[in-house]
Amino acid sequence: MTIHDLDGIRALERQGFKRIVLSRELSLPEIDYICRNTDIEIETFIHGALCICYSGQCLFSSMVGGRSANRGKCAQSCRLPYQLLDNDKIIDSGHLLSPRDLCGLDFLPQLIESGVKSFKIEGRLKSPEYVATVTRIYRKYIDLYYSSNPYEIDIKDRNDLLQVFNRGNFSSGHFDSNPNLNLVYKEKPNNMGIYIGNVANYNDKKGYVTLNLNEALALGDSISFENEDGKYRVSELMFQNKNIPFACDNEVITIGRMKGNIAPGDKIFKIASKALSDSAKETYSGKELKKIKLNCKVTIKKDTPISVYVKPANNYEHYKNINVSLSSETVPIIAKNQPLTKEKVIAQFSKTSNTPFEFDKIDVDLDDNLYIPKISELNALRRDVLQKLEEIVSLKFVRVPVKIKEKEFEDKEHTFPKISLALIELNPSFDYSLLDDVDRVYIPLRYFNNAKYKKCIETISKKFDLYIYLPPVINPNYTNLMKNVVANALETYNIVGFIFSNVSALYSFKIPEFSKYDLIANYTLNVFNDYSINELERHGVDTITLSPELNKLDIQQMHSNVDKELIVYGRIKLMTSKYCLLGKSNNCYPTCSARCQKDDSKYYLKDRLGFKFRVVPDNMQTITNIYNSKIQSIDFTDLGIDYARINILEESIPEINNVIRTVKAGKRFEGELYTNGHMNRDV
């Protein structure tokens, strides 16, 4: 939901939310300010992969790869290689959107002192060994903070974190208020491991690689070479022509059975440590596995079905007043030679290895001289009673759907949609009075703070209904300026309404003086269904701009009393990022060359297939917006929408009027430059 400011916190607090995971782009002072001014629980990311885009604002994977990052299906478009172009000139290349992983060990004390209640570790698709290692280390340092010992980080722990996964070392992310010039690692997008040395000599016939070790190496470790994509498992390790199981740093050793694109001077990296993996496995493979302890009574009586009674051994929070009794269909018989013993019953019931339970105490009430023909009946009874217990406890966590009062909808007579024109880029040399057949115009907030755009804004406000287009992210240091810009715009121009792009506006626009303005909820709120529409209507929203990720059937099935708007033409914004590709930082800094202020430059990311994605920097907030290489143009005539929205980025006045005429005619543009987005596909 891109919650990044106090207004967003307060909006959700009013909705009844108990905990909020903040956007990863916030600094320590910003997090501290939020924590000090709300009673809601705050959760922050602390370790792992960072997105280059604000969460909830990424459509790159969806529009280009057909998989929605906002729904957890990210195709990792940010990990691919790109060229950065200044017009047609290449000014940078590599994995330009691929951030280093975050390591927040150094910031734990400040975050705890600020009042953060929970730390989130990224672990999507990571190995169990990764999860075990990272959680062990962060648990250690949280406990260290609360102890009386000095908060000092052991270099071995930092190296263990690097060993399990890193992309060109770690990053401090956005925690530090100073500009982060090391946020992105453009050389390689996947796990780098730990650098252990360079190839000193390579015998390609025998596959022998000789090097002077910088780090310890052992049989079973995995390594990679600078110019090889794959990895190798170390199966032969030699020191002075003798096979050894383990080598220390500063030793000249030879690794055997290595074939590939390997040459003297190539860097070598240890991708995985067998010792570290084995150590991590121990924490989840048995001896350290914490289970729920149970007490059990097994009753085996003559001429009576076998029964079992189970209850928690301790006062576990979620197991209070819970017990389970079950009986088997099996009735014991008189033994002929080997009667059943209590020890045998206990042995069978103790086998709980793949369950979350273990028996602390097993009482057996057993009549003498009885026999069970199939001992597996005891196993089945044990499994059944534990499964029943698990089901009972699980029911405590089943979410009961909230009954929503059936809403009555007015039968709208849908005429042809009106036209909304979003001028994403404003050109002060254009005569916007030449625009035809437009019902309302949206102008981004940043243009209202620049005197050179005043004349064209005045022209637009006199001819059309003018709306202030608010960005999806408003950094805290920009908030007061934004409010002043809005106040001045309301005095200077004939403003009809606002397009708000973040839930924070649900708090900001409760202010009485805004009640006379139209409110349009932008597509960046990710409105996918009637529930969201109804809630926004309750907050006084007049128009909903639907998500570009919806398909035709989704849109046709939506019902609302508020107006529905759909982007029918334009380049969809794929990313909103707190990272400047030009300055290579997350904040502006004095020595930056300020390429963003060059009027004669347009910037693009060019991918491997030759597609060019427009890059629009916003130096007021150090925000970068990236737009799709293709123009969305869709047939909307049978979708039941009220407003057809046109997004304008680079088009001239004649081109804009041509787009308007095409849209008004109910047609769409065809050809390789255009896409119909998700109209005919799911995400």
* Residues 364-376 pLDDT 10s: 999 999 988 888 8
Phi/psi for 264 (5° steps) reads: -55, 135
Please check whether residues 440 and 556 belong to one and the same domain: yes
pLDDT tens digits for range 297-345: 999 999 999 999 999 998 888 888 899 999 998 899 998 888 999 999 9
Query: How many structural domains is the chain composed of?
Result: 4
Expressed in percent and rounded to 5, the helix, strand and coil fractions of the chain are 25, 25, 45
Q: Is position 410 within any domain? A: no
| pLDDT over 60 at 661, yes or no | yes
DSSP assignment letter at 198: E
Query: What mean pLDDT is predicted for residues 107-135?
Result: 95
Q: Which of the listed residues 282, 304, 330 is the one where a domain comes to its end?
A: 282
Q: Output the CA–CA distances (angstroms, integers) from residue 385 to 310, 340, 389, 391, in the order listed.
A: 8, 21, 6, 10
Name 481's Cβ contacts closer than 8 Å, sequence gap at least 6. 449, 620
Please check whether residues 36 and 18 belong to one and the same domain: yes
Contact call for residues 663 and 419 (beta carbons, < 8 A): yes
Short-list 19, 64, 57, CA closest to 41: 19
Please check whether residues 201 and 176 belong to one and the same domain: no
Please check whether residues 429 and 559 belong to one and the same domain: yes
pLDDT band at 628 (very low <50, low <70, confident <90, very high): very high
HSE (CB half, 13 Å, CA atoms) of 601? 17
Q: What is the mean pLDDT of the chain?
A: 92
- Locate 611 and state its tokens: 């597609």
Please check whether residues 255 and 356 belong to one and the same domain: no
CATH number for the domain harbouring residue 238: 2.40.30.10
CATH number for the domain harbouring residue 518: 3.20.20.70
Higher local confidence (pLDDT), 22 or 317: 22
Residue type, 404: I
Q: How far apart are CA 439 and CA 664, in angstroms?
A: 12
Short-list 460, 639, 622, CA closest to 548: 639
Cα 131–Cα 136–Cα 139 angle in degrees, nearest 5:
120
Which residues face 674 on adjacent strands? 631
Phi/psi for 407 (5° steps) reads: -95, 140
| pLDDT over 80 at 48, yes or no | yes
Please check whether residues 353 and 236 belong to one and the same domain: no
Q: How far apart are CA 676 and CA 663, in angstroms?
A: 14
Q: Is position 588 within any domain? A: no
HSE (CB half, 13 Å, CA atoms) of 560? 28
Q: Which of the listed residues 263, 282, 301 is the one where a domain comes to its end?
A: 282
Q: How far apart are CA 483 and CA 476, in angstroms?
A: 11
**Range with lowest mean pLDDT among 336-345, 504-513, 567-576:** 504-513
Please check whether residues 305 and 336 belong to one and the same domain: yes
Q: How far apart are CA 617 and CA 417, in angstroms?
A: 32
Q: How far apart are CA 344 and CA 364, in angstroms?
A: 10
| pLDDT over 70 at 683, yes or no | yes
Q: Is position 256 within any domain? A: yes
Neighbour-count burial of 510, counting CB atoms closer than 10 A to its CB (0-12 exposed, 13-18 middle, 19+ buried): middle
| pLDDT over 90 at 569, yes or no | yes
pLDDT band at 620 (very low <50, low <70, confident <90, very high): confident
- The predicted structure's pLDDT at residue 482: 87
Please check whether residues 255 and 305 belong to one and the same domain: no
Please check whether residues 297 and 228 belong to one and the same domain: no
Q: Is position 479 within any domain? A: yes
| pLDDT over 70 at 404, yes or no | no
Q: Which of the listed residues 249, 282, 315 is the one where a domain comes to its end?
A: 282
Q: How far apart are CA 276 and CA 2, in angstroms?
A: 36
> Does pTM top 0.95 for this prediction?
no
Please check whether residues 296 and 276 belong to one and the same domain: no
Please check whether residues 216 and 310 belong to one and the same domain: no
Q: Is position 405 within any domain? A: no
Residue 345 belongs to domain spanning: 292-395
Query: What mean pLDDT is predicted for residues 162-176?
Result: 96
Q: Is position 75 within any domain? A: no
Which residues face 233 on adjacent strands? 222
Residue type, 65: G
Q: Is position 547 within any domain? A: yes
Q: Is position 241 within any domain? A: yes
Please check whether residues 425 and 507 belong to one and the same domain: yes
- Locate 407 and state its tokens: 């809403």
Query: What mean pLDDT is predicted for residues 646-652?
Result: 96
| pLDDT over 90 at 640, yes or no | yes
Q: Output the CA–CA distances (angstroms, integers) from residue 473 to 7, 56, 120, 524, in the order listed.
A: 12, 11, 22, 10
